[in-house]
Amino acid sequence: MTQKLFSARGKRPVDEFHRELGKLMWEWCGMSRNATGLKKALSAIPQLRDDFWKDVRVPGSADNFNPEIEKAGRVADFLELAELIARDALNREESCGGHFRDEHQTEEGEAKRNDERFAYVAAWEFKGAAQPPALHQEPLTFEHVKPSQRSYK
């Protein structure tokens, strides 16, 4: 990993990629998101990740204390995780809690749940960089309470 980061020998500092990724996520996968935006994110993030590995500049060396390596390693992780977050957000055809899908709202603009399809806990399995990840689900069953539309009225 460290050797791979150094071997890019590119021009752009790690911070630039971090900020660009942050802007993408804020814009397309923020508190309010929709399928069009999420698809934009899903095409932009892999592009940014490719650029990162081609053009990142990690200064110094690995033989002494070098915070830039740590930062680069984290941003490399973020570039994978961000795509997964966007993928999961696109998959989730409902609004739930703070994750608001514009397409799924009540007439009053409140979050519209879909508990028939989305009452589960899930984990995505990494299937290799070239393959889409696989979704594993475990159903949530509620015996004593029933999830319902939030209302402060």
Partner 1 sequence: MNFKLRVWRQHDSEEKGKFVEYQATNITADMSFLEMMDLVNLGLVRKGEDPIAFDHDCREGICGTCGMFINGRAHGPLKGVATCQLYMRSFTDGETITLEPWRAKAFPVIKDLVVDRSAFDRIMQAGGYVSVDTGGVPDANSIPIPKADAEAAMDAAACIGCGACVAACKNSSAMLFVSAKVSHLALLPQGQTERKERVRRMVARMDAEGFGNCSNTYACEAECPKEISVVNIARLNREFLRAIVA
Binding site for partner 1 (CB under 8 A): 11, 13-16, 57, 59-60, 64-68
CB of 55 vs partner 1, minimal distance in Å: 12
CA-angle at 41, arms to 45 and 108, nearest 5°: 155
Extract long-range pairs of 92-97: CB within 8 Å, 24+ residues apart. 92/118, 93/117, 93/118, 94/118
CB of 10 vs partner 1, minimal distance in Å: 11
CB of 6 vs partner 1, minimal distance in Å: 13
Q: Which is nearer to partner 1, 57 or 99 (CB)?
A: 57
Q: Which is nearer to partner 1, 15 or 102 (CB)?
A: 15
CB of 57 vs partner 1, minimal distance in Å: 6
Q: Which is nearer to partner 1, 51 or 115 (CB)?
A: 51
Q: Which is nearer to partner 1, 10 or 46 (CB)?
A: 10
Please, is 6 exposed, middle or buried when counting C-beta atoms within 10 Å of its C-beta (0-12, 13-18, 19+)?
A: middle
Please, is 96 exposed, middle or buried when counting C-beta atoms within 10 Å of its C-beta (0-12, 13-18, 19+)?
A: middle
Coil/strand/helix, residue 84: helix
